[in-house]
């Protein structure tokens, strides 16, 4: 079953839905705003602008599999049309091109905006070590 962002969900539900979509290999771009100011910082990448984020997420989905996304401390707050979050996440995946398994203890933070539904406008994923 493909997980899709829902119009009626809370910011926390949107974040958890994104985690499930990542685990399942579903499309991730619908979770992000297509605005030029949208930014996603990954462990080893920076994507700026909605189009670049969507392209990067499509590439990620096409070249990775077997995702583990274990949320350990999700904290979310919101005001009307803006929400922010922080989490500690056990993250692992297999790079299908290099047949390499990557595992990290990561820190996530970001901002969501509600237009028609909650979407990320900024996301930052980091770890204490590099890939």
Question: In b/e form, how buried is each residue of 53-72, taking b as 16+ CB within 10 angstroms?
Answer: bbebbeebbeebeebebeee
In a domain, 2, yes or no: no
d(C-alpha 22, C-alpha 70), whole Å: 11
8, pLDDT greater than 90: no
d(C-alpha 4, C-alpha 129), whole Å: 32
What CATH number does residue 115 fall under? 3.10.450.50
Nearest alpha carbon to residue 90 among 46, 120, 47, 125: 125
Domain that holds residue 58: 11-127
- pLDDT tens digit sequence for 76-128: 999 999 999 999 999 999 999 999 999 999 999 999 999 999 999 999 999 97
- pLDDT tens digit sequence for 27-42: 999 999 999 999 999 9
DSSP state of 64: E
In a domain, 3, yes or no: no
Give how many domains the chain has, as a whole number: 1
Instruction: Enter the pTM of the model.
Output: 0.91
Return the half-sphere exposure (C-beta side, CA atoms, 13 A cut-off) of residue 3.
18
In a domain, 5, yes or no: no
In a domain, 4, yes or no: no
Q: How confident is the model at residue 7 (pLDDT cuts 50, 70, 90)?
A: low
């Amino acid at each position: 079953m493909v997980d899709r962002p829902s119009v009626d969900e809370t910011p926390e539900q949107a974040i958890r839905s994104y985690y499930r979509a990542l685990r399942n290999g579903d499309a991730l771009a619908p979770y992000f705003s297509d605005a030029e100011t949208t930014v996603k910082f990954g462990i080893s990448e920076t994507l700026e602008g909605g189009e670049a984020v969507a392209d990067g997420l499509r590439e990620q989905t096409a070249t990775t599999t077997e995702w583990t996304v274990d949320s350990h401390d999700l904290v979310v707050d919101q005001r009307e049309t803006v929400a922010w979050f922080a989490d500690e996440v056990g993250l692992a995946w297999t790079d299908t091109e290099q047949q390499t398994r990557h595992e990290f203890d990561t820190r996530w933070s970001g901002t969501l905006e509600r237009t028609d539904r909650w979407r990320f406008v900024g996301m930052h994923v980091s770890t204490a070590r590099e890939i």
